[in-house]
């Protein structure tokens, strides 16, 4: 069992409880089909998962396609994968290659049939960046909540 690393820079934490079993919430983060459905800040974007190698040391990459044609590319490395309890992964926007990677830790806790998600994003370069990422994550978690209220995808 590892502990959450402390990184220099700016950070924020979000907690949200979802009315869904922990295994389903964890799957929404780790199955590319589900992840692409909710992981974007607004309905103006469509997410395309280009890589999702879900293991410690595995890489992920995705593209957020804006309806106006802009594409934002994001990627990183999974540092820790403990189904269905915890994900830790690095985070880097392609257009910010000169900045250090930040780190995202997501802990999934079973709470009477619901799931509490505790997200910590740390190592961001500025308070402004932390606020923007906080807004983006909050919007994504709103979309995740809406996704989890729907029936699961068929296999």
Whether residue 6 is predicted with pLDDT greater than 70 in this model: the reply is no
Q: What is the pLDDT of residues 101-138, one digit of tens each?
A: 999 999 999 999 999 999 999 999 999 999 999 999 99
* pLDDT tens-place string over residues 49-104: 999 999 999 999 999 999 999 999 999 999 999 999 999 999 999 877 677 899 99
What pLDDT is recorded for position 98? 73
CA distances from 115 to 18, 25, 80, 141, 142 (A): 5, 7, 19, 13, 14
Q: Is the peptide bond before 79 cis (omega within 30 degrees of 0)?
A: no
| Domain 11-148 CATH superfamily | START domain (3.30.530.20)
Q: CA geometry: angle at 117 spanning 113 and 119, to 5°?
A: 175
**Confidence (pLDDT) at 155:** 58
Q: How confident is the model at residue 154 (pLDDT cuts 50, 70, 90)?
A: low
SS3 88: strand
Average pLDDT over residues 20-34: 97
In sequence order, the β-bridge partners of residue 111 are: 114
Task: Return the pLDDT at 75.
Answer: 96
pLDDT above 60 for 151: yes
Q: Which residues make beta-bridge pairs with 63?
A: 48, 73
What pLDDT, on the 0 to 100 scale, is given for residue 3? 45
Q: Provide the 8-state DSSP code for 97.
A: T
pLDDT at 86: 98
Please check the confidence at residue 1 and state whether its pLDDT lies above 60: no
Q: Does 47 score more than 70 pLDDT?
A: yes
Joined together, the tokens standing for residue 9 give: 């820079």
How large is the average pLDDT for residues 9-24?
97
Domains of the chain by residue range: 11-148
């Amino acid at each position: 069992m590892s502990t959450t690393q402390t990184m220099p820079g700016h950070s924020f934490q979000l907690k949200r409880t979802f009315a869904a079993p922990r295994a389903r919430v964890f799957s929404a983060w780790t199955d590319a089909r589900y992840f692409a459905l909710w992981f974007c800040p607004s309905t103006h974007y469509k997410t395309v998962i280009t890589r999702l190698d879900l293991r410690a040391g595995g890489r992920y990459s995705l593209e957020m396609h804006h309806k106006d044609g802009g594409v934002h590319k994001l990627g990183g490395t999974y540092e820790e994968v403990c189904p269905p309890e915890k994900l830790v992964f690095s985070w880097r926007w392609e257009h910010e290659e000169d900045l250090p990677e930040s780190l995202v830790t997501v802990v999934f806790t079973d709470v009477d049939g619901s799931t509490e998600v505790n997200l910590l994003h740390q190592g961001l370069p500025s308070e402004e960046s932390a606020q923007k990422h906080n807004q983006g994550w909050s919007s994504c978690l709103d979309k995740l909540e809406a996704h989890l209220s729907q029936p699961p995808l068929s296999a």
